[in-house]
Amino acid sequence: MKIAVLAGDGIGPEIIAQAVRVLDALKTGGLDIELEYGLIGGCAVDATGEPYPEATHQLARQADAILLGAVGGPQYDTLPRQQRPERGLLAIRKELNLFANLRPAILYPELANASSLKYEVVAGLDIMIVRELTGDIYFGEPRGIEMRDGQRVGFNTMRYSETEIKRIAHVAFQAANKRNRKLCSVDKMNVLECTQLWRDVVIEVSREYPQVILSHMLVDNAAMQLVRDPKQFDVLVTGNMFGDILSDEASMLTGSIGMLPSASLDENNKGLYEPIHGSAPDIAGKDLANPLATILSVAMMLRYTFNQEEAAQRIERATKKVLASGFRTKDIDEPGMKSVGTRAMGDAVLSFL
């Protein structure tokens, strides 16, 4: 298992260090794991002038899977857009064709009180957000800011081809098929043509999955329903931008954005694994970040790319035990719990692993 490790910026190196300890422990336990390190994001800009250097691309291309921390930081926000850290992340997703982004929002029962919602609203929550990751307004052309009739005009293009919608719909139907067989497709077809096509194509694909119950929801309603009654959902499928926003919203149902892992897969289940959160500049370098989303991303890597279900479950069981034993980073802390920092949370996971 050749894994490219790209720690990135801000809290990236801190959370990745804990995930790497987990990988090292599995290696000691007999898994054939090989790690190689590379630069992406702001640290890559500092070192090479580019957020996704060619050397990193080669490393990522040759690896079986990629583990990524996070990119970005305020010091890079004024750089020309093609040099910004976020461009590096978009480039690796696009160049490796990682179109299927799985973002599972699962509430560990021990964290029911860390959620900002009432216990009964979130208890038992287990939803899967399937976000399309290489299309939409993120990549559509034309885009830019231009002078028109004496004033600046900013524009982007929301764009999806039939092929792009079809392949993500298949991923979502197959995910639903393995779960509770309910798929909700989220769009804005009442206003946007692009998402009218999204809805039409999802309906066409649904004929191949008669056993899955398909529903549709407009994105504004979906944002509301996610906090009103999130347990009505099993699998959600949506485009790149709506999926970005709805998955951050869903993370708070689970107690913290520091709990949500993700997998970004290509057609062959080669994948990039990363927490859904960002580089959290406000807490970087302070041993405050929750490393569990990153550690749980390693579990997803073992499951989806390496078919090591047993090793994946070992990590998930260790995480459950850590929470059941009262270990809490600041983002999920409560009175009476064992408050720990990033590294001590890693220690706790390792001790149970």
Residues that bind Mn ion (CB under 5 A): 244
Burial (CB < 10 A; 0-12, 13-18, 19+), residue 144, is: exposed
Site string for ligand NAD, 244-273 (x = CB under 6 A): -------------xx---------------
* Min dist. Cβ of residue 31 to ligand NAD (A): 25
CB 139 within 8 A of CB 90: yes
Q: Which of residues 227-266 bind ligand IPM (CB under 6 A)?
A: 244
Q: Which of 64, 86, 126, 200 binds ligand IPM (CB under 6 A)?
A: 86
Specify whether the backbone of 250 is left (phi greater than 0), alpha (psi in -120 to 50) or beta: alpha
Using the minimum distance from each CB to ligand IPM, give the nearer residue, 40 or 340: 40
**Of 86-94, 188-196, 227-235, 318-326, which segment contacts ligand IPM by CB under 6 A?**
86-94
How many CA atoms, within 13 angstroms, populate the side-chain half-sphere of residue 50?
A: 10
The encoded tokens of residue 284 equal 């970087």
330 carries an active-site annotation: no
In 3D space, the residue among 251, 253, 301 whose CA is nearest the CA of residue 280 turns out to be 251
How many positions of this chain bind ligand IPM (CB under 6 A)? 7
Question: For residue 253, which of 275, 223, 273 has the smallest C-alpha distance?
Answer: 223
Binding partner of 340, given ligand IPM, ligand NAD, Mn ion, none, CB within 5-8 angstroms per partner class: none
Could you write out the DSSP letters of every residue in 104-154?
EEE--GGGTTTSSS-HHHHTT-EEEEEEE-S-GGGT-SS-EEEEETTEEEE
Alpha helices in 262-341 (DSSP H): 292-304, 309-324
Instruction: Tell how strand 151-155 and strand 182-187 pair up.
Output: unpaired
Q: Find the part of the chain contacting ligand NAD (CB under 6 A) among 47-55, 131-139, 186-194, 289-297.
A: 289-297
Site string (193-232) toward ligand NAD, x via CB under 6 A = ----------------------------------------
Q: Which does 334 bind (CB under 5 to 8 A by kind): ligand NAD, ligand IPM, Mn ion, none?
A: none
- Using CB under 6 A, which of 89, 226, 259, 312 touches ligand IPM? 89
Site membership for ligand NAD, residue 295 (CB under 6 A): no
Q: How many residues bind ligand NAD (CB under 6 A)?
A: 22
DSSP string, 180-207: TSEEEEEE-TTT-HHHHHHHHHHHHHHT
Near ligand NAD by CB under 6 A: residue from 138, 278, 318, 353: 278
Alpha carbon distance 275, 262 (integer Å): 6
86: contact with ligand NAD by CB under 6 A:
yes
Catalytic residue among 244, 270, 304, 331: 244
Selection from Mn ion, ligand IPM, ligand NAD, none that 73 binds (CB < 5 to 8 A by kind) is: ligand NAD
Q: Among 8, 9, 7, 28, which residue's Cα sits nearest to residue 284?
A: 9
Q: By CB under 6 A, which span of 30-38, 82-90, 164-172, 200-208 interacts with ligand IPM?
A: 82-90
- Residue 244 annotated as catalytic: yes
Q: What is the radius of gyration, based on Cα positions, of the chain?
A: 20
**CB of residue 333 to ligand IPM, shortest distance in Å:** 24
Active-site residue flag, 273:
no
Compute CA distances 261 → 105, 144, 264, 316, whole Å.
Answer: 8, 32, 10, 11
Question: Do 4 and 33 contact (CB within 8 A), yes or no?
Answer: no
In this chain, which of 38, 53, 73, 346 binds ligand NAD, going by CB under 6 A?
Answer: 73
- For position 46 contacting ligand NAD by CB under 6 A, the verdict is no
d(CA 98, CA 92): 8
Which residues are near ligand NAD by CB under 6 A?
A: 11, 15, 70-73, 86, 89, 257-258, 274, 277-283, 289-290, 293, 331
Residues at the site binding ligand IPM, with contacts judged by CB under 6 A: 72, 86, 89-90, 244, 276, 278
- Cite the active site residues: 138, 188, 220, 244, 248
